[in-house]
Amino acid sequence: NTCIWGGATGQDRSLIMLRKFLLATFYCSLLQQCVTFQFSSHKASHLKNIFSSRICRRTQHPAVSRIVLAAASDTELKNGIANFYDQSSPLWEEVWGEHMHMGHYGQKGDEKKSDVQAQIDMVDRLLDWGQVSAPTHVLDVGCGVGGSSRHIARRYGCKVTGITLSPLQCEHAKERSRLAGLADQTQFMVADALKLPFEDESFDLIWSMESGEHMPGKKEWLEECKRVLKPGGRFLMATWTHRDTEMLSCGHLSNENLDAKEKRLLSKISKYYYLPEWVSCSDYKMIAQELSFTDIRTDDWTDAVRPFWPAVWRSALSWQGFKGLIKTLRKGIETLRGARAVLLMIRGFNKGLIRLGLLTAVKQ
Ligand code: SAH
């Protein structure tokens, strides 16, 4: 029931892209068919998110909401992510340190502790929840500057390999490991999680702390992770997800069931943080089942991390944050966009739309 109809590329100007898109949706409602419209740039996919929900409302045509994003330009996305972390990591490290993820403030989010301690607790709570016992070689997918990698290396005395798309993060991660006396136990490289440069069955634990949201194809990504896991090895992640929605028929992600306002909010956040596709925790569970993982468990730790984004907002207003902002003032617009993105994240959490989802699963 799908009518394939052209697309838009990164070279198209916004207006041309919009015209093509409007024509596609017009045919879509005329033919009462689901249209596949390819957007081959991050910018274009953002447009799609905005307009598909508006047009859908106007035409009341459910098929229009089924316009799917064919992520043709992986390179553009990867460069965007690498650049984003190259630019933003130094300021984050100065204010927050080595952990670039949310903190755990107790299951109800009401424990009083420092934000950095909450981040460390998050790593420990997730390892406990994942029932990780004695890994020997761990892959940290989307390692940032290696905060989790070093923590895991210390806790289990194991070897950890971390990968990131950002060359700057990779360099900082190596330097931090050297200073911590963990250079022998940890190694870092610039590599793509969707094309892991490792042999089959290399690791007994794959750890992913808040990197899944950047992956363009969740199923392809989990499949690639499964390939490099040893039999009996565990996949363990915490990631940004959207709230659960009514499940859709096979092949469709549940984000199609979010309402127009929710889609618009996620779309704005995606554009800033380079997030190609939002899914729910249930979607992840379904994907893990499809890939024949076993011992699949999911959980929702939204309440536990609730104080985090307001803390990020406060840190931007603190003296240290202020100094950082001054340093980056020449990139004034970028800085303002970052502040707006933090507020959007807070709104997403408050609305119950954005969740912190957990998944663990074992390769048979
Ligand atoms: N896990 C780290 C950093 C989280 S930030 C921490 O908790 O401190 C997200 C990380 O995911 C960044 O390091 C980014 O480079 C990485 N990332 C995003 N997409 C990736 C991809 N396709 N391949 C490898 N790393 C990726």
To test the ligand 1 pocket, which listed residue (95, 196, 211, 239) has its Cβ within 8 A of the most ligand atoms?
211
At 65, the pLDDT band (50, 70, 90 cuts) reads very low
pLDDT average, residue stretch 178-197: 98
Which is the closest atom of ligand 1 to the Cα of 145?
Answer: 8
Q: What is the pLDDT of residues 73-106, one digit of tens each?
A: 688 889 989 999 998 999 899 889 999 999 999 9
User: What pLDDT score was predicted for residue 76?
Assistant: 82
Residue with the smallest CA separation from ligand 1 atom 10 is 142
Percent of the chain with pLDDT over 90: 62
Which is the closest atom of ligand 1 to the Cα of 210?
Answer: 4
Q: Higher-confidence residue: 52 or 172? A: 172
Residue appearing with tokens 């089924």: 66
- Look at 193-197, 257-261, 343-347 and tell me which has the smallest mean pLDDT: 257-261
- Write down the pTM of the prediction: 0.82
pLDDT average, residue stretch 234-260: 80
The answer to whether residues 273 and 77 touch, using CB atoms and an 8 Å cutoff, is: no
Would you say the C-alpha torsion 91, 97, 102, 104 has a positive or negative sign? Answer: negative
Determine the distance separating the centroid of ligand 1 and the alpha carbon of 166, expressed in angstroms: 8
Residue with the smallest CA separation from ligand 1 atom 3 is 144
Q: Which residues pair with 65 in a beta bridge?
A: none
User: What pLDDT score was predicted for residue 328?
Assistant: 61
Q: What is the pLDDT of residues 122-146, one digit of tens each?
A: 999 999 999 999 999 999 999 999 9
User: What pLDDT score was predicted for residue 356?
Assistant: 98
Residue with the smallest CA separation from ligand 1 atom 16 is 142
| The two structure tokens encoding residue 144 | 């940032």
Determine the distance separating the centroid of ligand 1 and the alpha carbon of 326, expressed in angstroms: 26
Residue with the smallest CA separation from ligand 1 atom 5 is 144
pLDDT average, residue stretch 157-181: 98
Ligand 1 pocket, residues with Cβ under 6 angstroms = 81, 85, 99-101, 142-144, 147-148, 163-166, 169, 192-194, 209-211, 214-215
To test the ligand 1 pocket, which listed residue (87, 88, 165) has its Cβ within 8 A of the most ligand atoms?
165
User: What pLDDT score was predicted for residue 29?
Assistant: 61
pLDDT average, residue stretch 302-317: 93
Q: Which domains does the chain have, with CATH numbers?
A: 74-89+126-243+254-302+336-363 (3.40.50.150)
